[in-house]
Amino acid sequence: MNNQANTDFYSNRDFIYETYETNNKKALEDFMSDTSNGTPLEVVLRSHLYFENALENALRSILENPDVILTDRFTFSNKLSLVHSLGVIPEDFNSVLKYFNKSIRNKFAHNLKFELQEEHVDQLINRFNKQVKKDYDDASVILKDILSSLSDLMKKLICCTYAIWQNIRVYHKKYVLYPVAEELNLLGSIIEIGESKDLNKLIQVVEERQLNLMQKLKEFSLNY
């Protein structure tokens, strides 16, 4: 890679990283501003809107023609099922969102006088996988001062919704960016070997990549 190309590559990489960090920080601030006050009903409904928006954003970045299916009739459950079926989120996290939608949000939708209890939130927490539980615990510390005047129920609820929403975004990021990172690493290896003029190493890298891709095709054919 020549010096100019090398400079451009790292300049673009730094720009992408800084832009992501800035936008992510702003998004988290907006989420907390919109969902960290009000009654349990208001927190649940606002958080649910954020969850659905995050699911739709994931689908719009993945699907070739998202508007074909992302119509007004395509519900939260539809979006969740599609995101799950595409492999964006794992089964254990899918069950968290299904529980929140059916056992918490929908109870308010069908009965405005429904009273959320700590046991409902505890049942949600019990469904968290290791990473979501860690983010929930971290939120309890990070948001301690902001939530200090609230009841234990509200503290738990807000930290739960914070952790869930953050993880929808994280799973989306991993799904989109990990394959790109793999290809960039491969291309970087090929460029380095090409510059060293070591043809045997270049052939070895390409052959290993071919074997990996063929294995994926084999797995697909066996399970199709």
| Chain segment 101-155, per-residue pLDDT in tens | 999 999 998 888 899 999 999 999 999 999 999 999 999 998 888 888 999 999 9
Instruction: Name the band, by pLDDT with cuts 50, 70 and 90, for residue 10.
Output: low
Could you read off the pLDDT of 19-61 as tens digits, one per residue?
878 888 888 889 988 988 899 999 999 999 999 999 999 999 8
Contacts of 193 (CB under 8 A, 6+ apart): 201, 202, 205
| Token digits of residue 92 | 């254990």
The 10 Å CB-count burial string (b at 16+, else e) for 27-50 is eeeebbeebbeeebbebbebbbeb
Contacts of 109 (CB under 8 A, 6+ apart): none
- Rounded to whole angstroms, the Cα distance separating 171 from 92 reads 12
Residue 177 is predicted with a pLDDT of 82
Residue 214 is predicted with a pLDDT of 72
Residue 174 phi, psi (nearest 5): -60, -45
Count of CB atoms situated within 10 Å of the CB of 11: 10
Residue 185 is predicted with a pLDDT of 78
- Rounded to whole angstroms, the Cα distance separating 56 from 83 reads 9
pLDDT at 217 over 70: no
Question: What is this structure's pTM?
Answer: 0.81
Count of CB atoms situated within 10 Å of the CB of 170: 16
Residues 191-201, mean pLDDT to the nearest whole number:
72
Q: Which residue has the higher pLDDT, 5 or 74?
A: 74
pLDDT at 12 over 70: no
Residue 18 is predicted with a pLDDT of 80
Instruction: Name the band, by pLDDT with cuts 50, 70 and 90, for residue 15.
Output: confident
Handedness of CA 63, 224, 173, 159 (dihedral sign): positive
The 10 Å CB-count burial string (b at 16+, else e) for 175-188 is beeeeeeeeeeeee
Residue 99 is predicted with a pLDDT of 96
